[in-house]
Amino acid sequence: MIVAYFWTIKPSSIPFALLAMALDRFSLWRSPNVGFFKSLGTGKGETFTPADANSLRWGLIVQVKDLEAFDQSLVVERWRKRSVDEFRAVLEPISSHGKWAGKEPFVATAKDWDGQVVAITRARIKWHQNFRFWRSVPPVTISLKSAPGLLAAIGIGEAPIGLQGTFSLWESSAAIKNFAYKGAAHQKAIADTATYNWYSEELFARFAVREVRGTLQQLS
């Protein structure tokens, strides 16, 4: 199963977070309970520039065999100890297109799902296209934040520049489809992507939300 964690930490724990982003991967690589994983910084998801970054919220997307065991693991407990808020979503892939770090990590298994849905978009932006990409993003993010059926949306990233994405929670698959296929700003962004070819890698995945703990609030 896929699990998404987002922790809001205390300001005094920022040095811990920066260190954990570098070191958690070694614990996760060694764990027989863990498959694909990505440690993430987060942001407002408005411009996808470094100015968006929020140093108080950090995330982890991870594939696990035993959820209960992982939820009590040292990696999670260290973050939890330093957090004032935790969001956890247990997810099952509905569909996935593209690659993340050269892998296709999400195998679709959920069918006939009519509950809440998470969408993860992620892209590796070509360096010479960053400024063009940043100029094109604002109309899309404005339309996303006002999209009917959107419950929450934040920016996610593996690095301050070039490795960007969004994590969004929706009422239903229909709400995502309406935004993706009927929104003028999103349609223009799709057309610009085809024109300028600004991604060297991209992924779009949808997930059935099997369980949610906590809330995903937009932080200023």
Plot region of 127 (φ>0 → left; ψ -120 to 50 → alpha; else → beta): alpha
Q: Is residue 217 part of a domain?
A: no
Give the span between the Cα atoms of 220 and 212, in whole angstroms.
23
Q: pLDDT tens digit string along 74-92? A: 999 999 999 999 999 999 9
User: How far, CA to CA in Å, does 53 sit from each of 185, 188, 209?
Assistant: 23, 25, 26
| pTM for this model (two decimals) | 0.85
The residue type found at 115 is G
**Residue 218 located in a structural domain:** no
CATH number at residue 51: 3.30.70.100
Separation CA 180–CA 159 (nearest Å): 26
Residue with the two structure tokens 């489809």 = 177
Q: How many domains in the chain?
A: 1
Tokens of 40: 């993430």
Mean pLDDT of the chain: 83
pLDDT digits (tens, 9 = 90+) for 17-76: 999 998 999 999 999 999 999 999 998 655 555 666 788 999 999 999 999 999 999 999
137 within domain boundaries: yes
Residue 203: inside a domain? yes
167-208: pLDDT as tens digits: 999 999 899 888 776 655 455 555 555 555 566 688 899 999
Under a CB-based contact definition with an 8 Å cutoff, are residues 99 and 203 in contact?
yes
pLDDT for 176 equals: 85
Quick one: pLDDT at residue 189?
57
Which residue segment(s) compose the domain that 26 sits in? 2-212
DSSP state of 103: B
Q: Which residue carries 């863990």 as its tokens?
A: 34
